[in-house]
Amino acid sequence: MNAQVLNAGDTTFYEFDNKIGFWGRKNFSREISYPGCSGEKIFVSHNSLGNRDEEVIKDSKQKTVVFLG
């Protein structure tokens, strides 16, 4: 894993979007640490959409289900 450690309170894994406000940086992965976490490092990663999730792969052969609630 090739990750950098950010300074405490560094929020550079987010960026401003004119339509939706602050959102996760796309294609991002890094280790961060905060003083309140006893100096432990936390791995943060965002997919190509800026979400903390696995990459979404569209498959035209499978149906898509959306849950709202």
Over range 35-48, report the average pLDDT: 82
Is 0.85 topped by the overall pTM?
A: no
Q: What pLDDT band is residue 2 in, cutting at 50, 70 and 90?
A: very low
Q: What average pLDDT does this structure show over 31-50?
A: 82
65 Cβ neighbours under 8 A, 6+ residues apart: none
